Amino acid sequence: MIELQRGDEMPLAREDGAPLGRLTMGLGWDKKPGAGFMSGANTPDVDLDASAVQFAGEQLFDLAFFNHLETRDGAVRHLGDNISGRGEGDDEQISIDLATVYPRVDTMLFLVSSYQGHSLEFVRNAYCRLVDENDEELARFTLTEGVPRTGFMMAKMFRDPDNADGWRLRAIGQGIAVKVPTESLDVLQRFV
């Protein structure tokens, strides 16, 4: 497993160079104790949402998120919305079948956004991780600092210019002003 830092890049390939097929992007987080407008039991949960946004060139192609669970090509599926971050392990997951991504799609952005507009300063232990079809963790990106934004651009997956069948992953790690991806395409296009 590789712990990614902002700007790190890696090929999405097996040790023999063959491209990976099915992957899962997992997202996990916990609410900071006492975070929110009031402290105590009535403090609202922090509802983070994982999204995958596909681009063909600079044009939006499709997306998978809590309100649209699967891309038209069926290659990217959101596996369900967690509105609290409670529990162990991944709180939300997005599955990706790289072999069936529509050929025009050359970039996929993976982001986290706070549906209710909470600042990401309200969360702790936030991470995203990439797991292969054998449930082996390939890479992890940990959100280690409080981000005074409602969203976080985690990573960019893009077609490998040196391998026609391959993909690469680049950790971005930047706070962004976004609550729902469909309302923030101008912000997202900067990362394509």
Per-residue pLDDT tens digits for 7-24: 999 999 888 888 888 999
Per-residue pLDDT tens digits for 95-153: 999 999 999 999 999 988 877 777 777 777 778 889 999 899 999 888 755 677 878 88
pLDDT at residue 168 tops 80: yes
pLDDT at residue 182 tops 80: no
Torsion of CA 35, 37, 40, 46, to 10 degrees: -50
For the full predicted model, state whether its pTM sits above 0.95.
no
Nearest CA among 98, 65, 95 for reference residue 82 = 65
CATH code of 2-191, in short, is 2.60.60.30
Average pLDDT over residues 88-101: 86
DSSP letter for 43, please.
P
